[in-house]
Structure 1
Amino acid sequence: METVLVIGSNSFSGSDFIDLLLSEREYKVLGASRSPEKDDLFLSYKGNPNRARFSFHQVDLNHDLAALLSLIEAERPAYIVNFAAQSEVAPSWENPGQWFQTNAVALANLAIRLKDMPFIKRYVHISSPEVYGPCEGVVKEDARYNPSTPYAASKAASDLMLLTLYKNFNFPVSTVRATNVYGAHQQLFKIIPRTVIYLKSGRTIELHGGGKAVKSYVHIRDVSQGELQVMERGNNGDIYHFSPDGGVAVRDVVATICQRMGKDFDSSVKTVTERLGQDKAYIIDSTKARTELGWAPRVGLDQGLEGVVRWVDRYWEAIQKQPLGYVHKP
């Protein structure tokens, strides 16, 4: 039985990927994250019937690199999928050094060591379309980097570091860039779960810039399926996009949720100032993943939104005890 190490296992994307691995494959799965393992409100794999094949390890990529490397040497994973990152855009303006430390420096320190471990078949790097800046027209995998925030610049730096390792040492890295991922178990401050929670609790939803920014919402399980295909069948040095067929304005997504929950849109929202560095459109081309990997999004937006509403209803008592805003952890 081969082993997969998922770094950033407490993250929304990392935990769903683990749930998929346990459900559809026979791998031994290791999770590593800097914080203690969360509960099932945020970790979908907690209820997986095959959870006996999973083990969690609390390791901080920034401060416990030696411990992480020891774990890797001992377990010799065939695959490493790294979701660990400072991932929020707006707060990156306040502490840009922390974003670069986690997203670029810590990753570089890890990857330079991994390149000498011959048992690693594939290292899957989770990047972001934010590295492209404003996504206008058809944005393919070879589009130039044009980051417009510290977060995006830190991710671009990590991408370039891994590219140098591939070019000089044939490091088996494949890179993933997915658009606006959503689904049940997501962080509560994200626009889709936050909208459901605010509507359920009678609070007013703030729409930055009136919610005119166009996003490409793709369901978490569709992205996880794509990441699994990249892990098992991707090409070294290649980049893969995962995105739906088109974009939708944030305000339209909020309006859809309002309609589904029987709430009046106009009385439920208010317009506030747009975020600094917000891209007007966030649309990338996923033809390569569809052609080479046979990937395609299968969870429609209506179905995905319904899943989030059901999740909030199910965990409403626990959600009411959670902070609803972003809480920064250095």
Structure 2
Amino acid sequence: MNILVTGGAGFIGSHYVRHVLDTTNDRVTVLDALTYAGSRENLGEMLLSPRLEFVQGNILDPDLVAGLVEAHDTVVHLAAESHVDRSFLAGGHFLTVNVLGTQRLLDAAHRFGVERFVHVSTDEVYGPIAKGAASEDDPLCPTVPYAASKAASDLVALSAFRTHGVPVCITRSSNNYGPRQHPEKIIPRFVTSLIKGTTVGLHGDGRHVRNWLHAADNAAGIDLVLRRGVPGEVYNLGGGTDLTNRQLTGHILRLCGADWNSVEFIADRTSNDVRYAMHWEKAAALGYLPQHDFHDGLTATIQWYRDHPDRWAPLLRNPDSPRPHVVVAHADKNTAAPCARTQ
């Protein structure tokens, strides 16, 4: 295959590029705008590979997108604005990048007849789930602007398949962790704070539940769907470790040699969904099976941040970074959300 990977210099994207280069003979072109969350350093030595080409550019540029898509038979679309706190402050920008950018790629895919197109999404599109787990055919009920923009882009992708026959598959993964993640996200934010010797802020009562999946396992799942998925279908990629944020914090504290005196309980973030959960049997039927033990994966991730302060310390001084706590609300705000599922 000749694969165009949008957002390939980002956190999950760089893990995906590594997976392809390590496990196949395919050629990869990375298209990345190199905004605050993307960096050539995420690709590292992969840039030496004769099978990798890097193009700096924006998925909103129709001429650039058309030229690149025409030269490739496959598209894996990861480029997106992805941070919840940022979406509170810039909802319109999230819609522009995540929805219009996806449409630009799909238009080019239709025009030039790509053979495969994988649109990478998130479990947050299902919204809060009080009990049970979401299946791929469940209705979408996003809460925050980020999740709404991803849900909209999912529907745009599926419409391209149904209307034009663009061979689209969608993956929806749970929360990812691993090396090279931007320190605005909870695990690297807590880890880097503890490395610096400062406190960490835990929202609400810490009972929010997330499923943690190593980015390398997500990358393997995305590639599996690319090669074996049925066009027009959605595949959940879960199967990591379910933890409350309080449990997650406990793991990080132990591995960083800190205690609960380093934790400050702060007012909950607005619209902080109390629980995410997904069924992933559909992807398992393709052969998907996460390989990373959470304890080992988290230990290695923390060691990466210890070993690479040069990578994350400059990002903490980024003037474009949002305030970590944009709005305050009660911890149980979404326990009775209109679309919350009870079973």
Query: How many Å separate the matches in 1 of 2:296 and 2:318?
Result: 26
Residues 48-197 of structure 1 aligned to structure 2 (within 5 Å): 48=46, 51-62=49-60, 64-73=61-70, 75=71, 77-118=72-113, 120-136=114-130, 137-197=132-192
Distance 1:210 1:60, change over 3 A: same
Does 2:47 align with 1:13? Answer: no
Does 2:251 align with 1:256? Answer: yes
Does 2:313 align with 1:320? Answer: yes
Name the amino acid aligned to 2:273. D
Query: How many Å separate the matches in 1 of 2:301 and 2:76?
Result: 25
Does 2:264 align with 1:270? Answer: yes
Is the contact between residue 10 and residue 33 of structure 1 (CA under 8 Å) also seen in structure 2?
yes
Name the amino acid aligned to 2:257. G
Tell me the secondary structure at the aligned position of residue 101 of structure 1.
Answer: helix
Is the contact between residue 7 and residue 79 of structure 2 (CA under 8 Å) also seen in structure 1?
yes
Distance 1:277 1:318, change over 3 A: same
Does 2:290 align with 1:297? Answer: yes
2:337 is matched with none
Distance 1:196 1:145, change over 3 A: same
- Give the length in aligned residue pairs: 319
Q: 1:187-210 CA deviation, whole Å, 9 max, x = no partner? A: 112111122211111100001113
Moved over 6 A (4+): none
Is the contact between residue 182 and residue 312 of structure 2 (CA under 8 Å) also seen in structure 1?
no
1:215 is matched with 210
Query: How many Å separate the matches in 1 of 2:252 and 2:20?
Result: 30
Displacement, 1:321? 3.0
Query: How many Å separate the matches in 2 of 1:319 and 1:165?
Result: 38
Is the contact between residue 177 and residue 241 of structure 1 (CA under 8 Å) also seen in structure 2?
yes
Does 2:204 align with 1:205? Answer: no
CA-atom RMSD in angstroms: 1.9
Greater shift, 216-225 or 159-168, is seen at 159-168
Name the amino acid aligned to 2:303. R
Contiguous gaps of at least 5 residues in structure 1: none
Displacement, 1:234? 0.6
Contiguous gaps of at least 5 residues in structure 2: 323-343
Displacement, 1:106? 2.3
Tell me the secondary structure at the aligned position of residue 166 of structure 1.
Answer: helix
2:332 is matched with none
When the two structures are superposed, what TM-score results if normalisation uses the length of structure 2? 0.88
Displacement, 1:324? 6.3
Query: How many Å separate the matches in 1 of 2:84 and 2:27?
Result: 33
Tell me the secondary structure at the aligned position of residue 116 of structure 1.
Answer: helix
When the two structures are superposed, what TM-score results if normalisation uses the length of structure 1? 0.91
Query: How many Å separate the matches in 2 of 1:317 and 1:95?
Result: 28
Greater shift, 224-233 or 186-195, is seen at 186-195
Query: How many Å separate the matches in 2 of 1:22 and 1:187?
Result: 23
Displacement, 1:325? 7.0
Displacement, 1:328? 5.4
Identity score, percent: 29
Query: How many Å separate the matches in 2 of 1:140 and 1:124?
Result: 18
Name the amino acid aligned to 1:167. R
Query: How many Å separate the matches in 1 of 2:21 and 2:211?
Result: 28
Is the contact between residue 22 and residue 50 of structure 1 (CA under 8 Å) also seen in structure 2?
no
Distance 1:197 1:206, change over 3 A: same
Name the amino acid aligned to 2:276. Y
Query: How many Å separate the matches in 2 of 1:270 and 1:178?
Result: 29
